Amino acid sequence: MKGKEDQEMSFLDHLEELRWHIVRALAAVIVSTIVVFLCKNFVWDTIILGPTKKNFFTYRIFCEMSQSLCFGPKDTRMFTRDFGEQFMMHMVSSFWIGVIVAFPYILWEAWRFIKPGLYEKEQKAIRGVVFICSALFFLGVLFGYYVVTPFGISFLSNYTISDSIESTVSLESYIDNLTMFVLPVGLVFELPMIVYFLAKVGILSGDFMKKFRRHAIVVIVMVAAVVTPPDVVSCILVSLPLVLLYEVSIFV
């Protein structure tokens, strides 16, 4: 008898199968979110508010390299505008970190749904896709957190148009910026895998990407400008690794 994966399924069977994959993926996100929510002190004091402190890892590394490279965020007061803002930001931040933690399992569930519909040679061609995509995503998240975030926060907090204006920032604004610094960068680091799939189906080739390299750089800068807060430093910091990833994609 054929196994379940080898049996031909109807459209409704596919929907039922997809529903359970989505349910399991959402369950993983919920569990991760709850765990992060309960680890409030460590998550907030060490991770979320880490880039606002002058002893943050990135600031210390650059200062140890050379005093001329020392930089850091300006002392800025953080406030809440609404009565329940702290609770809501605790929920929102826990959810996004939960998504990041559960990302490999989400990919694995997606792969389990897609795999039965692929030929054996196609399955072999993209073997290890979950591990590679997860590694690229976490690499992007770490780059966003340890490189883009410190430079972005330092630039935005130190930028002034008048000495008579006091620097304060709402907690919601900080969380929104931190999310934009980290999560989209993790997603755009999936570029080599996206290119790999497009090459496998015959849409892209290395020669094509070389021919339109200059056009791609313009698009990359535009994408970086969209996924990062509106400042030049963040845009450049995201554009440079994306250009490097584009060159890696040509090799892939």
Q: Is the pLDDT of residue 223 over 80?
A: no
> What is the amino acid identity at position 133?
C
Residue 5: pLDDT above 50? Answer: no
For the cut 80, the answer to whether the pLDDT of residue 7 exceeds it is no
pLDDT(54) > 80:
yes
- Report in angstroms the alpha-carbon separations of 73 from 12, 77, 149: 54, 12, 11
Tell me how far CA of residue 27 lies from CA of 51, 194, 212, in angstroms: 30, 26, 42
Q: Please tell me the number of Cα atoms within 13 Å of 220 on its side-chain side.
A: 22
| Residue pair 149/184 in contact by the 8 Å Cβ criterion | no
N residues, the chain: 252
Alpha-carbon gap, residue 219 to 3, rounded angstroms: 46
Q: What is the mean pLDDT of residues 246-252?
A: 81
pLDDT digits (tens, 9 = 90+) for 146-186: 988 988 888 888 878 888 887 788 999 999 989 988 998 89
Tell me the range of 97-101, 112-116, 184-188, 211-215 where mean pLDDT is highest: 97-101
**Residue 2 in tokens:** 């054929």
Output 164 or 135, whichever has higher pLDDT: 135
Residue type, 80: T
Indicate the pTM of the whole model. Answer: 0.84
Structure tokens that stand for 79 in this block: 């406030």
Specify the residue for token string 């590694």.
135
Give pLDDT, residue 154: 85
